[in-house]
Structure 1
Amino acid sequence: MSVSRKTISIVLAFFAIYVIWGSTYLLNKIAVTQLPPFKIASIRFISASIIIFIIAKILKLDISITKKQLKNTIIAGFLFLTFGNGVVVWALKFVDSGFTALEISAQPLVVLILMRIFQKKKISAMSYIGVALGFIGIYLLVSQKQIISQENQITGMIMIFVCMISWAYGSLFVGKAELPKNSFVNTAYQMLFGGLMLLILSICFGETWTAPSTWNTNVTWSLIGLIIFGSTIAFTAFNYLLKEVSPEKVATSTYVNPIIALILGWWVLNETITVQSVIAAVILLTGVYFINTKRKFKPRSIGR
C-alpha cells in the first residue's frame, strides 16, 4: 500500500520538531555565552523570516495577508517567539540546556490544563494519571539542592515555566485563528513580527550590539544553525502540524527534545546529569505518554 504525500510530510515535520528542536537548546546555550539573549533571538527570527519570504517568492507563493490575519500573526509571534522563546534564551544564561529542555517536557501537561480551562475539554482517567506523574516529575526536577542553590536558577526555572504557558496558549490560539493558509508564509510573518518585537525589547533593555566579526566561531555557527534549521525548517514544520493534527500531538515533541538536549549538553558542554534528573525525566515523560494516550488502547493512524 502506497504512503500518501501528506503522511510523508507529517512524518518529516514531526522529525523536524523532535530532533532539530532538541538541538536548539545547545545552540542557544552556546550563543548566549557571548551574545545578549534578546539580540540572539531577534537576529535569528528576523533573518529566518527574510529567508522564508525569499523562498516563498521563488516558489511564487501568495504572501498577501488580510488585516485579521496580520493581527493574528502578530499575536502568535509574540506568544511563541517574543515571549515564549526570547525569555527561554534569557533563562539559559542561568540554567543548563538539558535541564531547560527537561522542564519544558512538561508542556503537554500545560496544554491539557489550558484546553480544559478555555475549551472545556474533558480529561480522561489516563490523562489524570499523566497530570499527577507530571507534577511529581517537576517536583523531583526542581527540588534538587545542587541546582536551586546556584545563583538565579530559581528565577530562570520560574520564567521557563511562564514561557511554557505562553507557548501552550499560542498552540491553542493558532489552532483556531485565521492565519495565512500556507504554513510557510504563516511562519514568515510570525517570525518577522516576533523578531521585530524582540529587537524592540533588546533596545529597551540596553543590550550591547557587536559586529559578527567579533563573535567567536562556535557562536557564529550556533546562530546560523538556529536560523536555518531551528527556525526556517523546524518552526515551519511546527505551524504545519498545528493545522494537520491536534495540539496535544504536536506537544509530544517533548518526548524526544529533552533526551537529545540532555545528551548534547552533557557531551558538548559537560553539563551534569544527576540520577534525580534521570528519574524525573522518566516520570515526566511517562506522564506525557499517559496524557496523550486514548481511553481505548488502539493506535490511531495518521491518515484518520
Structure 2
Amino acid sequence: MVTSGQNAQTPAPPLTTSILLALAAVYVVWGSTYFGIKLAIGTLPPLGMLGLRFLLAGLLLYPVLRLRGVPNPTPAQWGWSAAVGLLLLGGGTGLVTLAERQASSSVAAMLIAVSPLFASLFGRLWGERTSGREWLGIGVGLVGIVLLNVGELHATPLAAVLLVLAPLCWTFGSQWSRRLDLPSGLMGSAAEMLTGGAVLMLLSTLTGEHWRQPSATSLWALAYLVVFGSIVAYSAYMYLVAHTRPALATSYAYVNPLVAVLLGLGLGGEHLGAYGWTGLVVITLGVLLVVWPAQKPAA
C-alpha cells in the first residue's frame, strides 16, 4: 500500500493486468460475501464472527509475509493500521453485518452502492478530481441499484441507518489510508485485519454477545470469508485504493448486488422480475462508464 494518494494533476493509471485481476476479485468475491455473512451469522454472533474472521485471516497472512522477509510494521504503522482497520472492518463491514440481522442482503447491497459517490466526495477533500463521465457512471449505477431493488425494500429504520453509516466509514477510511504511513503491500492488509479483528472481538465482548455451538454451514461460511472474503478480496481492494482512482476502486459496489442476485437465483430459488433484469443492465452500463479508460488527447 502506498503512503500517499494521487494528486489532482496525476492522470488516471492504465488498466493493467494486476488492476483487472484485483477488480475481478472484489467484484465477484465480495458479491458472494453478502450470502456468506448471512450463513455465518446463522449460529455465530455478528461482531464476534467478524472479529474471528479478520483475526484468522491476519494470523494466516502475517507469518507468511514475515517468513518471506517483509519488514515488521513500525509502532506508528501499527497505530495507523488500527485506525484504518477500525473504520473499514469495524465501521464498514461490522455495521453491514449488524444490519443484515434486520435487512435483506439486497437492501444492504443497494445502500452500500453509494460508496463510489462517498469516495469521490472524500477524494475531493484531498484535492482529487472526479471526471464528468465518472459522475455520470455513479449516477447511472445508483439508478440501476434502485431498479434492482424495486419492491424489495424491507429493512428496519435502525438497519437503514447502519447501512448508510457503513459506506461513510468505509470510504473515509479508504481515502484517508492513502495519506497515512501504513505498511506496504500485503503487510498493510495483514496489520489492518489483525488490529481491526482485535477491536471487533473486544466490541463483541463489551456488547455481551453470546457464543453457542456453531453449525457446519456457519463454519464453512466463516472459512470462505476468511480465505476469499478477507485475504484475497480485501488485499485486492487495498491494492486498488493505492493504485487507482476512488470511483474505480469502489465500483465493486455496483457489481456486488449483481453477484448477490445471481447467487440468490442459483442457490436460493429467488425470482427476478423485469425491474430486476433492467437494473442489472443499467448497473453494468454505470460500471463501464466508470471503468472505461479515458481517451488521451491527440499530441
2:47 aligned with 1:38, yes or no?
A: yes
- How far apart, CA to CA, are the structure 2 residues paired with 1:60 and 1:42? 27
Matched with 1:231 is: 230
1:250 aligns with 2:252: no
Match of residue 19, structure 1, among 19, 28, 34: 28
* Distance in 2 of aligned mates of 1:278 and 1:286: 13
Q: C-alpha displacement at 1:231, in angstroms? A: 0.7
- 1:160 correspondence with 2:163: yes
Q: Deviations over 1:152-197 (max 9, x none)?
A: 2x4323311211111111121122211112x221111101111111
- Unpaired runs of 5+ residues, structure 2, are 1-14
Residue aligned with 2:178, SS:
helix
Partner deviation per Cα, 1:84-140 (whole Å, 9 max, x = no partner): 101111111122224422432332122112223x12444433344345445545655
* RMSD of aligned residue pairs (Cα, Å): 2.7
CA 1:151–1:188: 2 relative to 1, 3 Å: closer
Provide Cα deviations, 1:235-293, integer angstroms capped at 9, x if missing partner: 12222222222232211223432211111123223445454444445445544544556
Task: Output the amino acid matched with 2:116.
Answer: P
Q: Name the counterpart of 2:72.
A: 63
Are 2:32 and 2:260, in contact at CA under 8 Å, matched by a contact in 1?
Answer: yes
- Within a 5 Å distance, the mapping from 1:23-102 to structure 2 comes to 23-67=32-76, 69-102=77-110
1:119 counterpart = 2:126: yes
Distance 2:259 2:75 in 1: 39
- SS of 2:252 mapped into structure 1: helix
Moved more, 273-282 or 70-79: 273-282
Aligned equivalent of 1:262 = 261
1:194 is matched with which residue? 196
Alpha-carbon distance between aligned partners in 2 of 1:129 and 1:151, rounded to the nearest angstrom: 28
Residue of structure 1 in register with 2:10 after alignment: none
Distance 1:278 1:165 in 2: 28
Distance in 1, Cα, partners of 2:111 & 2:80: 28
Q: Assess if the C-alpha contact under 8 Å between 2:28 and 2:259 holds in 1.
A: yes
For 2:48 and 2:265, the matched residues in 1 are separated by 26
Q: Would the aligned equivalents of 1:80 and 1:170 in 2 still touch at CA under 8 Å?
A: yes
In the TM superposition, residue 48 of structure 1 has moved relative to its aligned partner by 0.8
CA gap of 1:41–1:227, structure 2 versus 1, over 3 A, is same
C-alpha distance in 2, partners of 1:102/1:271?
A: 17
1: distance between equivalents of 2:160 and 2:192?
A: 26
**In structure 1, what residue type is equivalent to 2:163?**
I
Closer/same/farther in 2, CA of residues 95 and 109 from structure 1, 3 Å limit: same
Q: Tell me which amino acid in the other structure corresponds to 2:207.
A: F
1:205 pairs with 2:207: yes
Taking a change above 3 Å as real, the CA distance of residues 229 and 124 of structure 1, as seen in their structure-2 partners, is closer
Q: Check conservation: 1:97, 1:262, Cα contact below 8 A.
A: no
Q: Is the 8 A contact 1:106 1:138 kept in 2?
A: no
The verdict on how the C-alpha distance between 1:252 and 1:19 changes in structure 2, with shifts beyond 3 A counting, is same
Q: 1:233 to 1:124 in 2, by over 3 A?
A: closer
Cα distance change of structure 1 residues 184 and 121 upon mapping to structure 2, 3 Å threshold: closer
- CA distance in structure 1 between the aligned counterparts of 2:291 and 2:168, rounded to whole angstroms: 18
Seq. identity, %: 29
Deviation, structure 1 residue 151? 5.8
Q: How many angstroms apart in 1 are the aligned matches of 2:16 and 2:145?
A: 34
Aligned length: 283
Query: Does the 8 Å CA contact 2:91/2:165 hold for their aligned counterparts?
Result: no
Conserved 8 A contact 1:126-1:293: no
Query: Using a 3 Å threshold, how does the CA distance of structure 1 residues 79 and 218 change in structure 2: closer, same or farther?
Result: same
- Confirm or deny: 8 A CA contact 1:98 1:258 kept in the other structure: yes
